[in-house]
Structure 1
Amino acid sequence: MDQINPDLPRVTRRSLASSLRTPGGQLVLYGAVGAAVVGLAAFALVGAEARAIGLSFAGYTVGLALVLVLLRRGFPHDSIGLCNKVTLARLALTSALLAPLAGSAAPWVVFAIAALALGLDGLDGWLARRDGLSSDFGARFDMEVDSALALILALNAWAAGTAGAIVLLIGLPRYAFALAARALPWLDRAAPERFSRKLVCVLQIATLIALQLPLVAASVANPVVALVAAALIWSFGRDILWLWRTKP
């Protein structure tokens, strides 16, 4: 009979500890913590509605898997740092906001969780600069969470009847741009940093958060949405024009 290696459990524990110290291992570990945040926030939104909470977990799982793929494409640091943990918390809160699409949620709770997700935006970037952990991964992670938050809030506002289908125009620009870049590779490049782009993004998310409240009448919401959509078209159009003029 073969002898069992008594050192095997120790080696396995050491290997597990080593893997958890890698950026990918840290992301998985804190991703598990984020899952608890998803569950708590979704429960606060819809109570014990299993289908709605399941939708939030499904969205979070897909989002976390995509973030891991993005991380493995290249990450220059040994630790994900507090900055990316904050962005991960924003992903968890954003995923929880899927629950109202399949359940009944109090508008003020939707507003509060969305406002918290927006409030944490900018903190991750500041932490990255403070700790010397800035990276293309972190910037992309932050941008994708912003895009997902905008789309989910737009869907919630439309489903709740606070705004008409026009609200989807301010939830979809990032995804429409990404789809266009698949057909036109010259679009798939970084445009110069512009304060105006960040300002329009904050205006977009802030408007969508305000639309979660039933106090906003559709007769007021739709014209405001049209103005924000025009600002987004201008911002994206400005970047597209620069990318076209500088294409290889």
Structure 2
Amino acid sequence: MVRITTLASSHLLSSRLYSASELAVGSLLLLGLGSLLPTLTVTALNWGLAFGTYAFISLFVLIFWSGGALGWANRITLLRAVLVALVAGALADNVFTHSIWLWLVTATTALMLDGVDGWIARKTQSYSTFGARFDMELDALLILLLCVGLIQLESLGLWVLLIGVMRYLFVVASWHFTWLSAPLFASIRRKVVCVWQVSALLLALTPLTPTLVASLLAFSALLSLAYSFGIDTWWLYQQRRR
């Protein structure tokens, strides 16, 4: 029994080390891309925030993934994480406002890769609960970062942050109301709302969009998100009663 436990611990440690090595490659990719996009990494603070964001994401991977090699689908998601880290880093000192189009292209690329990792997972039959969670958490983080950027760029008010923090408020609420953490049914609605949130925020952030239109776009994202969460919360409540 002791031998089996030792072997299991050794296997887990080797799996963690393998995952850590892939995450280290991702950090080198972040360094390379950041060097190629110097207008997004102007100051040490930009670099620090970018690597801090990537370190936080890496910690999430090490905690929840124990399968050794990440696989190609999760590697694409890790590439998305690198791009999201660059988006985060450029928010420091409002650097992104001086290179807004490049910043938006970086964020849009991270959004477009959202469909690629899922496609690869289906093609290689490597779909996993972790992969879906990894993907979802990156989407939530990207939306939050875009909300922060919109507040800094357009000064629309802190209400815009509700778009980015609503998911996190839902998670915190589930700690007390445990029925909120029950599995949800598959829904195209959630995917459509998620895509619209990011699309609306990206459109609102473009220099071509007037402040009033940016406000309306952000408000539409907030309304659609509140509607989607409302439906899911009501369904979970009904399941609890049953």
Where does residue 131 of structure 2 map in the other structure? 138
Residue 30 in structure 1 maps to residue 22 in structure 2: yes
Partner of 1:46: 40
1:110 aligns with 2:103: yes
| Distance across 1 between alignment mates of 2:164 and 2:236 | 22
Q: How far apart are the structure 1 equivalents of 2:55 and 2:220?
A: 34
Separation in 1 of the partners of 2:129 and 2:41?
38
| TM norm structure 2 | 0.86
* Counterpart contact for 1:162–1:212, Cα < 8 Å: no
- Number of paired residues? 226
Equivalent residue runs for 1:197-236 within 5 Å: 197-236=190-229
- Listed as ranges, the matches of 1:55-204 within 5 Å are 55-72=49-66, 75=67, 79-103=69-93, 104-105=95-96, 106-161=99-154, 163-204=156-197
The aligned amino acid for 1:98 is A
Q: Unaligned stretches of 5+ in structure 1? A: 1-14
Contact 1:39 1:96 (8 Å CA) reproduced? no
Q: Alpha-carbon deviation of 1:94? A: 0.6
**TM-score of the aligned structures, taking structure 1 as reference length:** 0.84
Deviations 1:181-221 (A, max 9, x none): 11111101221011111000000111122233222222111
Output the amino acid matched with 2:79. Answer: A
C-alpha RMSD of the superposition = 2.1
Distance 1:203 1:236 in 2: 14
Q: Which secondary structure does the structure 1 equivalent of 2:65 belong to?
A: helix
Identity of matched residues, %:
33
Structure 2 counterpart of 1:237, which letter? Answer: G
CA distance in 2, matches of 1:184, 1:146: 24
- The Cα of 1:123 is off from its aligned counterpart by 1.1
For structure 2, list consecutive stretches of 5 or more residues without a partner in the other structure: 1-9
Q: Which residue of 1 aligns with 2:3?
A: none
Q: How far did residue 162 of structure 1 move?
A: 6.1
Mapped partners of 1:53, 1:133: distance in 2: 33
Tell me which moved more, 144-153 or 95-104. Answer: 95-104
SS across alignment from 1:97: helix
How far is 1:95 from its partner? 1.2
Q: CA deviation at 1:241?
A: 0.9
Q: Which moved more, 1:216-225 or 1:230-239?
A: 216-225
Contact 2:53–2:85 (Cα < 8 Å) also in 1: yes
Partners of 1:214 and 1:37 in 2: CA distance: 29
Separation (CA, whole Å) in 2 of partners of 1:89 and 1:143: 14
Distance 1:204 1:175 in 2: 15
1:180 maps to a residue whose letter is: A
Match of 2:7 in 1: none
SS in 2 for 1:58: helix
Aligned residue identity for 2:180 = L
* Structure 2 counterpart of 1:84, one-letter code: N
Aligned equivalents of 2:156, 2:207: Cα separation in 1: 10
Return the index of the structure with the highest Cα Rg: 1
| 1:33 maps to amino acid | V
Hey, what's the Cα distance between the residues in 1 that align with 2:120 and 2:201? 26
Q: CA deviation at 1:81?
A: 1.1
